[in-house]
Amino acid sequence: MARFVGIRRGGSGTSGGGDVDGESTVRVVTTLFRVALCIALSVTALASELPDTQQLRALCRDVEGPDRRRQQKAVGSLRQLPPGAVASLAALLNSESEDSEIRAGAAIALGTFGAPARRYVPDLAKALDGDSIPLSQAAAGALSGLVNRGDAAVVPDLVKWLVKRRPDCSFECFWAITALGKIGPSARSALPVLRQIAKDGRMPSDIQAEARASVKKIGARASP
């Protein structure tokens, strides 16, 4: 995944190689850090007091914020939340009145809960479709960790979103493609767009390779 630092942002297309400006590299590396940090800490939450909405909002903001120490502290706090916090986090994710930073943090937090958060997989799929790149990336990352084989209900949202993907799509595309591969044969309606991505020379090689891998996991024979 470290190879994603080679993705160009801000132009008319993307490239798996070549030079990138400093801001793009920092942005990509920072996003990787956030996602990797939360996935590494994905354990069943221990019993603890359920924080109020304001406290959850602050934790979500810190998880998505630029300060790595605050990120680590916030994720550590999220580890201690009881399963009952999942519903509150989902409410933040789904609230269009919240700013995108808080909604993205809520998506990342949901991804750390595992099984208790699986009921909100459809909400994460819908959160992909918006103008906020960090929210799309966070939702896709959480989805890739939460979906199970046979989760066909979210396939239409993932396919629709990949069809109209941005030219500079990076993490959000990779994780959405990964999620489709995990769903398996039930995601056969995604095969056309996955094959198109696999052949799209504008896409980074990592994403093309992941698309090919997901096609195999879904099963080429399942395609119309």
Q: Say how many C-beta atoms besides its own lie within 10 A of residue 126's C-beta.
A: 14
Residue 21 clears pLDDT 50, i.e. is over it: no
All structural domains of the chain, each given as residue ranges with its CATH number in brackets, are 2-222 (1.25.10.10)
Residues contacting 140, CB < 8 A, separation 6+: 128, 171, 172, 173, 174, 175, 176, 179
pLDDT top residue among 69 and 157? 157
Contact between 65 and 58 (Cβ < 8 Å): no
| Single pTM value for the model | 0.72
- Among residues 18, 14, 13, 63, the alpha carbon closest in space to that of 41 is found at 63
Across residues 166-178, what is the average pLDDT? 90
Across residues 100-116, what is the average pLDDT? 90
Across residues 193-207, what is the average pLDDT? 94
pLDDT top residue among 79 and 112? 112
Across residues 126-152, what is the average pLDDT? 92
Radius of gyration for the alpha carbons in the chain, expressed in angstroms and rounded? 17
Residue 6 clears pLDDT 50, i.e. is over it: no
Q: How many angstroms separate the CA atoms of 120 and 106, rounded?
A: 12
- Among residues 173, 200, 180, 213, the alpha carbon closest in space to that of 4 is found at 173
Mean pLDDT of the chain: 78
Q: How many angstroms separate the CA atoms of 48 and 59, rounded?
A: 15
Mind listing the pLDDT tens digit for each residue in 115-126? Answer: 999 999 999 999
Mind listing the pLDDT tens digit for each residue in 46-73? Answer: 334 556 778 888 888 887 778 888 878 8
Q: How many angstroms separate the CA atoms of 137 and 126, rounded?
A: 12
